[in-house]
Amino acid sequence: MRFLPPVLIPAIFLASCGGGSPTETAKKELKAVTEAPAAPAGSGVVAGKITFTGAKPVMRTVSMDATPACARMHKEPPKSEEVVIGADGSLANVFVWVKSGLPAQKWPVPAGKVTVDQNGCVYKPHVVGLVTGQDIEFLNSDETNHNIHPLPRTNREWNESQPPKGDPKVKQFTQEELMIPVKCNVHPWMKLYVNVVPHPFFAVSGADGSFEIKGLPAGDYTVEAVHERYGPQEIKVKVDATGTAKADFAYKG
């Protein structure tokens, strides 16, 4: 038999007695314990493109010579991913989220996990978003030891090593916080940014600079873009029940 947490027992007992307000209260309690609140059925979208319009910065080349297991994974030494700009000025790795305007409710934590791989001694992807309390899984696909070390301002700091091809590490971040830097104590060039928000309405711009946030209820929203070097920007948008609102951001550098 499945173990029932103690908090459920009085609720079930009262519910089985029938009649009267205590039963209704008990039913509510039972629902609160067993069901996550449903997300509103929204089908609005915010979509856009992030561009970089300033003088293109030159990214340093990362030398992995100190760790041959890392260096041999790359045909050519990779460039720092601090600023990734495409030929057409697209800016990748920008975290975009709905900063305000959503209905006041607790959003369910997605059952799926966000996966970050350490592959070629590079965090893949370089920027991730997750919902407060959602699982984030760290893999080590490399034949070398890594040391995962988030440096949050409000979440708990931790620092754990992971052996070559070691077991996945599953963690959670319990507080809302943007652009948490994660470093590797073994390989100083490794950098990941974790963004933790209280709802699922976020995206990260791709190599083509585009992003899309789906499933929004109709409303007036403030959408914020955050880049690790160039910081935050905001745009206000009006989303219709089934429409797509445009939110294009431009960084000048």
Residue ranges in contact with Cu ion by CB under 5 A:
146, 184, 186-187, 190
**Which residue in 121, 116, 117 sits closest to 77, CA to CA?**
121
* Min dist. Cβ of residue 61 to Cu ion (A): 18
**What letter would DSSP give residue 187?**
-
For residue 197, give the amino acid letter.
Answer: V
Q: Closer to Cu ion by CB, 99 or 187: give it.
A: 187
Residue nearest to Cu ion (CB): 184
* Min dist. Cβ of residue 122 to Cu ion (A): 9
- The whole-angstrom separation of Cα 67 and Cα 144 is 8
- The whole-angstrom separation of Cα 225 and Cα 144 is 34
* Min dist. Cβ of residue 158 to Cu ion (A): 15
Q: Closer to Cu ion by CB, 123 or 173: give it.
A: 123
Q: Closer to Cu ion by CB, 187 or 191: give it.
A: 187
Q: Closer to Cu ion by CB, 113 or 149: give it.
A: 149
Sign of the dihedral defined by the CA atoms of residues 95, 85, 82, 143, in that order: positive
DSSP SS3 for 28: helix
Tell me, rounded to whole angstroms, the distance of Cα 39 from its chain centroid.
Answer: 18
Q: Closer to Cu ion by CB, 187 or 227: give it.
A: 187
**What letter would DSSP give residue 99?**
E
* Min dist. Cβ of residue 187 to Cu ion (A): 4
* Min dist. Cβ of residue 92 to Cu ion (A): 22
